[in-house]
């Protein structure tokens, strides 16, 4: 239990009268990749958006139950503090178009008004870009605009931006669904490396991707957590019939 970074307890989320997640219970250990899979509209994106409290930005959004980061209730924390500890990478690469690659990486510091010496900042940029496997491609163009990069590079820039803040967890919301196969493979390779330092939650509707990169998988269907366990186990001997049907492509 002491290794669990994230604990979701009896958690439900809704928009207005419409309940999207029912009674989710889930624990994520440190330094693993946890995949959340399920058909479109099942609530998996809503779940990770609740974890960094982006869900509550939508008018009419409501939640019950609790989510803990280590033993801190995230709904008691200040959302701006929480979001620095839980990074997020979105479906569509979204580097800041007004900023250079360098500034994009340290955007979390710059935008929050956190000052640090130039040498330290250079260090953060290099380390984050190296960890995101982007350093070699951009080290000579750090002061070009981030939007000049290709889609896959932009997405890795966004990963570097999240890494720069030294988060406990990074949430990935279908990070490869807008990318070509080669960029997808690069990002999947990254997960294996990044696991050493950070815990990752990956929302994906790509079953094969969940199988390739994750240690544990949660299958969410119609707002309910159907099954949660080690990926290998779930993909070979699913406990629930619905999981089996989803994995074998009977629906989805």
Partner 1 sequence: MHDNVRARLVKDILFKGIIGLLAFVSLLPLFLILYYITKNGIAVINWDFLSSLPRPIGEAGGGVFNAIVGTLMLIVLSGTLSIPCGIAAGIYLAENENGKLGNSIRLSVVVLQGIPSIVIGIVAYLWIVTPLKTFSALSGGVALAIMMLPVIIKTTEETLKLVPYHLKEASLALGVPYYRTMLKVVLPSGMSGILTGILLSVARITGETAPLLFTAFGNQFMNINVFKPIDSLPYRIFYYAMSPYPEWHSFAWGASFILVVLTISLNLIARGISSKWKIQY
Binding site for partner 1 (CB under 8 A): 52, 54, 57, 79-85, 87-88, 90, 92, 94-98, 107-108, 110-113, 147, 158, 161-162, 165
HEC letters along 130-141: HHCCCHHHHCCC
Contact 90, 129 (CB under 8 A): no
- For residue 19, list its beta bridge partners: 14
220: nearest Cα among 12, 1, 5: 12
Among 161, 155, 172, residue whose Cα is nearest residue 49: 172
Question: What is d(CA 48, CA 201) in angstroms, rounded to the nearest whole number?
Answer: 8
From the number of C-beta atoms within 10 Å of its C-beta (0-12, 13-18, 19+), residue 187 rates as: buried
CB of 171 to partner 1, least distance (A): 8
Please, which residue, 3 or 78, has the CB nearer to partner 1? 78
Torsion sign across C-alpha atoms 208, 198, 50, 63: positive
DSSP single-letter state for residue 25: E
Rounded least distance, CB 31 to partner 1, Å: 22
- Smallest gap, in angstroms, from Cβ of residue 106 to partner 1? 10
Contact 9, 25 (CB under 8 A): yes
Q: Give least dist CB 132 to partner 1, A.
A: 15
> At its nearest, how many Å lie between partner 1 and the CB of residue 185?
24
Residue 152 or 238: the one with the smaller Cβ distance to partner 1 is: 152
Whichever of 88 and 213 has its CB closer to partner 1, that residue is 88
Nearest CB to partner 1, comparing residues 57 and 208? 57
If the CB atoms of residues 34 and 158 are measured against partner 1, the closer one turns out to be: 158
- Nearest approach in angstroms of CB 244 to partner 1 is 35
Contact 153, 144 (CB under 8 A): no
Nearer to partner 1, 38 or 167 (CB): 167
């Amino acid at each position: 239990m002491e290794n669990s970074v994230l604990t979701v307890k009896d958690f439900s989320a809704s928009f207005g009268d419409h309940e999207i997640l029912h009674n989710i219970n889930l624990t994520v250990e440190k330094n693993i990749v946890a995949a959340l899979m399920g058909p479109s509209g099942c609530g998996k994106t809503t779940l990770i958006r609740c974890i960094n409290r982006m869900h509550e930005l939508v008018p009419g959004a409501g939640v019950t139950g609790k989510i803990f980061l280590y033993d801190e209730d995230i709904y008691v924390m200040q959302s701006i503090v929480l979001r620095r500890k839980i990074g997020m990478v979105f479906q569509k690469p979204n580097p800041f178009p007004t900023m250079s690659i360098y500034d994009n990486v340290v955007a979390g510091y710059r935008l929050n008004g956190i000052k640090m010496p130039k040498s330290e900042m250079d260090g953060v940029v290099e380390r984050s870009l190296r960890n995101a496997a982007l350093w070699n491609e951009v080290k000579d163009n750090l002061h070009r605009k981030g939007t000049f990069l290709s889609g896959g590079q932009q997405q890795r820039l966004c990963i570097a931006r999240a890494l720069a803040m030294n988060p406990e967890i990074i949430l990935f919301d279908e990070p490869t669904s807008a990318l070509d196969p080669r960029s997808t493979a690069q990002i999947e390779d990254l997960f294996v490396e990044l696991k050493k330092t950070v815990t990752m939650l990956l929302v994906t509707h790509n079953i094969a991707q969940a199988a390739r990169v994750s240690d544990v998988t949660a299958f969410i269907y119609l707002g309910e957590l159907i099954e949660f366990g080690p990926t290998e186990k779930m993909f070979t001997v699913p406990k629930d019939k619905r999981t089996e049907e989803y994995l074998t492509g009977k629906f989805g």
